[in-house]
Each structure stands twice: as C-alpha cells, then as structure tokens.
Amino acid sequence: MRIGIDAMGGDNAPHAVIEGVALYLNQNQDDEIVIFGDRDIIEKECAQKIKQLNKVEIVDCKEKIEFEDEPVKAIRQKKGSSIVVGLQYLKESKIDAFVSAGSTGALMAGGLLIVGRIKGIDRPALTTKLPYKDGQYLLIDVGSNTDCRPINILQFAQMATVYVSKVLGKKNPTVGLLNIGTEENKGNDLSKQSYELLKGAKNINFVGNVEARILPFSPPDIVVCDGFVGNIVLKLTEGMGLLFFDILKDIAKSSFRAKIGGLLLKPYLKRLKGKYDYKEVGGAPLLGIDGIIVKCHGSSDSQAIFSGIHQAKSFYENNILALLKEEITAESEV
C-alpha cells in the first residue's frame, strides 16, 4: 500500500508528521509512504528520524495552504501546495490514501474539486469516534457541512452504517438522530424531515431521536447530525475531558492523603484519559469522496499522525470505498 501524507499541514508540522511516519514504518515495513512538502526541510527530517528511507518518496511542494485561507480559493490558486498535489496523486491512483492535519475546509474543497465524490452522494462528511462510559460511538458529521438538507443526513447515516459494520465490526449498528428531545415531532424542520427519511430507510437500524445528555452514557452506535452541531459536540467532548482531568489533578494535590490516593489510581486514570485523547483516535475519515482521505487533528503530534495513517490503512484493507459505492448505488435504485 502507498499512503500519502501532508507534511506541511498542522500546528506541529513537519516535525510531528515525520516522526509519525517513522513510528508507522517501524511497524508496517511492507507499506510505502509518499510525503508531500518542502523537500529541503523534509529530507533533513527524514534522514534524522526514519530508518526505512527506501520506503519513503518525497514530492516537493513549496506552497502551503494556511488555516486562515479561503478553502476553494486556496485550492484553485495554490496548485503547488501539499494538499493540492497530494489529492492530485490520489485522483491519479499514484497513492491509495491521503492523510493530512491541515485545513479541514481545504481538504473538503480539494476532495470535491480534485478527487470528486462518490456517485449518488450529495455531500461528503467527516466522522470520528467519541468516548462514552462503556466504549465509543461514531459521530457524523463533525464539521464539513454546517448547512444540511434532510437527504444529507440520510446519506451520512448510510455511509456511517457501512463504516461501522465493516471497519469497526459492529453488525447492524444502531443509528440515532441528535435532537433536543426524543419525541418524533421535536426539533427544527431539518430534524423533523430527517427523522422521516431515516425512519423509512432500508438497511439503517434507526432508533429515533437522541438527546445530547445520553451521549456520555448510552448512545446508539452512530449519532448523526449536521456539521455545525457535530463540531460543537466534538469540541465540547474534548474540552470536558481536559477539564475532568485538570480537576482531578487539583484534587490530588490538595492534601497528603489525596496524593496517596492519586498515586494508587494513576494507572486507571491513565487508561481513562486514553479514551478522551484524540491522539489515539487518529483522524476523521472523509466519507463520500471517491478516494480515501483522513483528516487528523490540527494539533496532532507524532502519535496522532501514526494513528491517522493506520486508520487510512484500515479503511483500505477493509475495501470501504467499494462498499460505500455499492450501498449508495443500491439505495438510489430502490
């Protein structure tokens, strides 16, 4: 497998990206990594950190798309950027997947303009796993579509169902619509119309509306919403996790007895913290694009990059792209 990686995207690029590639190649020596970025910088980083240099190809990209750039304009004007060149490689099948911690908007725009969407999909969507008391659930969309139509919500649920059943191994996963109440008539027009579509859809195990308060305790396997709401849920979950552990640290320092208790609980708290750590999740697959694209957190360190690359590999090995096409084609013919 040949996996492309954007070495210029993210707050900690290119150092964390190259370190993440090194971690990945140490465990996956049959794969090849194509790195897109400034060759003068990348070659030095690779020479210092990567042992398997014969498994690395560097594609020189002098331009970089910044987070503040207008996405569509940047894709059209910065033809030599790591994102544009990387997506062009994906379009031309020179790589099997593309991973980036760069601009979400640019990845979305580039995915649509360069790679193209799966036939029958109106809008692609970002999805990620979030923790709850007894495991993880899948949230879709987490930021790529702030304004949606009911058909978009339905297609998000269809794509997520394929992803959860085939990649995560959950047969017939349950799907819930995030809303302000559980009753069928709750919510705005988008919620009500989406509910009707989901209720009547085949191959979706729809369980109705779900409220945000149950997400930390007993959510369905898949929670679907528009990207505006989903991004708020994602960032609130990250923030609450950090707040929880900050409070625990303060309590553990408050007295000698608390310090002893903290030491005894440290291994268990470390395990719990891992559930809320985006570094372990890896990234958010952009479902609906006719190619494998994984968006890593903008603040990704080497471990998060490693996890993102591994997620792209899992997507590829489970043939998810073909399965998504098959599912959407079948639904459109009903």
pTM, whole model, 2 decimals?
A: 0.88
Give the pLDDT mean for 92-104. 96
pLDDT given for residue 280 in this prediction: 60
Q: 127-136: per-residue pLDDT in tens?
A: 999 999 888 9
Residue 326 in domain: no
pLDDT given for residue 268 in this prediction: 67
Residue 111 in domain: yes
Clarify whether residues 23 and 65 are in a common domain: yes
Q: 227-248: per-residue pLDDT in tens?
A: 999 999 998 988 888 787 788 7
Range of the domain at 83: 1-121+288-320
Confidence band, pLDDT 50/70/90 cuts, at residue 249: confident
Clarify whether residues 292 and 205 are in a common domain: no
Helices 256-275 and 227-252 pack at an angle, to 10 degrees, of 160
Clarify whether residues 230 and 302 are in a common domain: no
Residue 333 in domain: no
Residue 334 in domain: no
Give the pLDDT mean for 305-313. 94
pLDDT given for residue 272 in this prediction: 65
Residue 58 in domain: yes
Is the distance from CB of 71 to CB of 106 less than 8 angstroms?
yes
Clarify whether residues 102 and 145 are in a common domain: no
180 pLDDT above the threshold of 80: yes
pLDDT given for residue 257 in this prediction: 81
Kindly report the CATH number assigned to the domain that includes residue 83: 3.40.718.10
Clarify whether residues 114 and 127 are in a common domain: no
* 3-state secondary structure at position 272: helix
78 pLDDT above the threshold of 70: yes
DSSP annotation of 112 reads I
Clarify whether residues 147 and 295 are in a common domain: no
Confidence band, pLDDT 50/70/90 cuts, at residue 200: very high
Residue 269 token pair: 């708290």
Cα–Cα distance measured from residue 129 to residue 120, given in angstroms and rounded to the nearest whole number: 25
Clarify whether residues 130 and 274 are in a common domain: yes
Q: DSSP secondary structure string, 204-248?
A: -EEEEEE-GGGTTTS--SEEE--HHHHHHHHHHHHHHHHHHHHHH
Please count the structural domains in the chain. 2
Confidence band, pLDDT 50/70/90 cuts, at residue 147: very high
